Amino acid sequence: MKPYLANFRFYEELNDFLGRDHYKQTIAYRFGGQPAIKDPIEVLGVPHSEVDLILVNNASVGFDYKLKDGDRVAVYPVFESLDISPVQRLRPKPLRNTAFIVDVNLGKLARGLRMLGFDAAYGNRLKDREIVDIATREKRIVLTRDRKLLFRKSITHGFWVRAVDADAQVREVLTRLDLYSQVKPLQRCMDCNGRIEPVAREQVWSRLEPLTRRYYSEFFRCSSCHKIYWSGSHVAHMTGVIRELLVR
Ligand SMILES: [Zn+2]
C-alpha cells in the first residue's frame, strides 16, 4: 500500500479526460515518495497542456510542486471564460498568442479558422513530431482530436477538440478559448494561411478573367501564395458562412 494520500479535484472540461468513476468527483490519490504534481495529473489522464492553474491547499503552484501527504489539489483548464483572477496562472501569458497548429485530419477546421482571420498552420502530411516542433518553435496552440499528442512534454498550450463536425469544431474553439472578439474575417488566405492584402487592380490585371475585369474594382492578394480575391460572389458566400459560424 502506498503510504500517502492526496485529494484531487478537476474542474470544468478537464473532466472529459477522466474515467467515468472520477468524472466530477474528488479523487483520492495514493502515492509514495514526492512526485512532481504534473505526474499524478497525467497519471489520472489529464494532459498538462490543458491545465492552466493548480491550487494546492488554496495556493497556486507550478508543475514542479512536490506532492505531500494530505494535500488538497484543484486543477483548472486552460481557457479564458473561467474567471480565475487574481490567482496566478501557471504561465505568465496564458495562451493569447492566438496562433494555431492544427492536427493533420482537421483541415476543414484550419480553413474555418483562417476564414475568420486566425493564424492556423496546417499540413496534411505533418508527423506528430513536426507538429510538436512547430508548436514549440512558433508558440502555437495545438488543436487536435488525438489526446495523446497533448501529453508531449514540450507542448505548453493545447486543446483537445471534442466536436466531430467541422463547423461545430470552429464554434467549439471560439467558445472555449473565448475568441469571438478577435474574429477578423477575410484577412487570411484559406488555402495557405498567408495574409490577404489590398492590391491595386493594375497589379493583378493580367491574371483576371474578362468578366472579373469588367465587374470588379476592389482586389486583394495573398502575400504568400498570391491567390487573388475580389469582392464578388465568393466573398458574399463566405460572409454568409461566417455569419452562420458566429451565431452563438
Ligand atoms: Zn495563400
Per-residue model confidence as pLDDT tens for the chain (248 residues): 899 999 999 988 899 999 888 999 999 999 999 999 999 999 999 999 888 889 999 888 999 999 999 999 999 887 654 444 444 455 545 445 689 999 999 999 999 999 999 999 999 999 999 999 999 888 898 999 998 898 888 887 888 999 999 999 999 998 888 788 888 887 899 999 999 999 998 999 899 888 888 888 888 899 999 999 887 766 777 788 888 888 77
CA of 85 to the centre of ligand 1 (A): 39
Q: What is the pLDDT of residue 41?
A: 96
CA of 193 to the centre of ligand 1 (A): 6
Instruction: Tell me phi and psi for residue 77, to 5 degrees.
Output: -80, 165
Q: What does pTM read for this prediction?
A: 0.72
Q: What is the pLDDT of residue 97?
A: 62
Coil, strand or helix at 134: helix
CA of 112 to the centre of ligand 1 (A): 14
CA of 222 to the centre of ligand 1 (A): 5
CA of 184 to the centre of ligand 1 (A): 17
CA of 119 to the centre of ligand 1 (A): 12
Instruction: Tell me phi and psi for residue 169, to 5 degrees.
Output: -65, -45
Q: What is the pLDDT of residue 175?
A: 86
CA of 99 to the centre of ligand 1 (A): 17
CA of 115 to the centre of ligand 1 (A): 12
Residue 139: which region, alpha, beta or left (left: phi > 0; alpha: psi -120 to 50)? left
CA of 105 to the centre of ligand 1 (A): 20
Query: With DSSP H G I counted as helix, E B as strand and the rest as coil, what are the percentages for the chain, rounded to 5?
Result: 35, 25, 45
CA of 11 to the centre of ligand 1 (A): 40
Q: What is the pLDDT of residue 91?
A: 54
CA of 169 to the centre of ligand 1 (A): 22
